[in-house]
Amino acid sequence: MTEQTEFPSVSPLNTDGNVPSTAELARRIAGQVTTVDQSDRSVPINLRQSGRTPVEMLISTRVRKSPYWHLSHEAGCWRATVYNRIYHPRGYVRPEDGGAMVEYDALINHVTMWNVAVERQIQVKGPDAEAFVDYVITRDATLIKPMRGKYVILCNEAGGILNDPVLLRIAEDEFWFSISDSDLEMWLRGVNIGKGFDVSIKEIDVAPVQIQGPKSEDLMADLFGDAVRDIPYYGLMAGQVAGRDVIISQTGFTGEKGYEIYLYDATLYAEDMWNTVLAAGEKHNLMVIAPAHHRRIAAGILSWGQDIDQETLPFQCNLAYQVPRKKAGDYIGKAKLEEVRAEIEAGRPPFKNKMVGITFGGLPVTDYAPDFWLICLPGTTEPVGYVTSPWYSPELQVNIALAWVPVEHTDIGTKLEVWLPDEYAMGHPGNTVDAEVVEVPFRPSVNPNAREVAKYKGRDYAD
């Protein structure tokens, strides 16, 4: 544990005794670690509450442009972020035309296509592929059959989550890690330098798109035939689009019915696949949209780097089921994770905070939050937690969010308050609104993700 720097205290009240606005609070704590207790972390989450950054994102050659980058621009992409060192589209419908909530409507009622080439595909191939993968993931890789997939996590020796990819088993001797936002390839290569498995590890020229929404099955059947209707959840199928080879999986980042199309040699054939899907999608009201974080929050799906990171234990964020009690072989982090589970079962959790779902007031949150919004207990002004992923749920007609709060305040029904930025707190004195800890997922999913099936049916093991 690194020593934490002491900072001067910051008065949470204005001179008139009222709670300050978020902007005022930002001025007081700028450059300081807030009073939220993160003493169990080496690097506390930056909670400066500094608002949107008024700068232009630089487009340069040090960040990669995916094979679909220009096609996303043609489809109307007007803003992007950086994910896995690749430009990542994050908006097609402009705010004045309804913004992300129009995209949400297309996802819930029709079918959508997303450029998710940022999910770099890291191939592990060779005689020891299964043994190597089994050593780096917490779940049992021997139970994953060829042409099937699993949602998995990889942990470091301290039990922290390094990545939470979808793992595809293409063949007996070949796996693809469809990774979230961290440099997993470098870590996998480093592990193998020390262990010496007979495998090759490399990123391959395969780039996925997601096809998500209630009409996705009909669209995919038009493209690949009725056999696609028989693909089980996390099942795979080989196919072709416009004569180009692809792998199809029934997976997605939404909880809605959906698929991913992984295009081989994507740098050569991106236009062929993309334009063919667009043409086939016309009769299904296909819309190209950004990844639907509003829907994945409702499903309780986590975003690495936003909700969790390498200092997060699976037991803190509803991923305990990813830590099997019965996995026979060793894996990285196993000893620490078993130690932590024993401490939890003895009533001594070795961490300060846990992730919960909350509902909260204020105006509808209809865009990405640029900061972690602070949480306090009712009637107090001392921050105790923070929101990571907020959005408005049209179905529930309330703001929902994933948030970190102290372990002792995680029970369902616990009352909290959230400090909101001015744009969402209009009419609320001091910018605080009522909040409450609720069950996750926030609403049922068409395809219940593994977190839902395991955590919310009382399971705490993976396999």
Residues of the chain with pLDDT under 70: 1-35, 49-50, 447-463
User: Nearest 5°: CA angle at 302, between 168 and 85?
Assistant: 70
Cα–Cα dist 170/177, whole Å: 11
Read off the pLDDT of residues 347-398 as tens digits, 9 standing for 90 and up: 999 999 999 999 999 999 999 998 899 999 998 888 999 999 999 999 999 9
Q: What does the pLDDT read at residue 32? A: 41
CATH number of the domain that residue 430 is part of? 2.40.30.110
Asked if residue 395 is part of any domain, the answer here is yes
Number of domains in the chain: 1
Before 441, cis peptide (omega within 30)? yes
Q: What does the pLDDT read at residue 11? A: 37
Token code pair at residue 253: 């980042």
Asked if residue 258 is part of any domain, the answer here is no
Asked if residue 265 is part of any domain, the answer here is no
**Spatial CA neighbour of 249 closest among 159, 161, 165, 129:** 165
Answer yes or no: are the C-beta atoms of 339 and 188 closer than 8 Å.
no
**Which structural domain, as residue segments, surrounds residue 462?**
1-62+293-312+352-463
Read off the pLDDT of residues 223-269 as tens digits, 9 standing for 90 and up: 999 999 999 999 999 999 999 999 999 999 998 999 999 999 999 99
Residue 317 carries which side chain, given as an amino acid letter?
C
Asked if residue 382 is part of any domain, the answer here is yes
Backbone angles phi, psi at 259, to 5 degrees: -140, 165
Q: What does the pLDDT read at residue 444? A: 80
Asked if residue 267 is part of any domain, the answer here is no
Q: What does the pLDDT read at residue 10? A: 36
Asked if residue 379 is part of any domain, the answer here is yes
**Spatial CA neighbour of 150 closest among 114, 176, 124:** 176
Alpha-carbon separation of residue 250 from 176, 204, 253, 315, 379 (angstroms)? 15, 21, 11, 27, 47
Q: What does the pLDDT read at residue 12? A: 41
**Spatial CA neighbour of 267 closest among 29, 49, 71, 430:** 71
Asked if residue 462 is part of any domain, the answer here is yes
Q: What does the pLDDT read at residue 200? A: 98
Asked if residue 380 is part of any domain, the answer here is yes
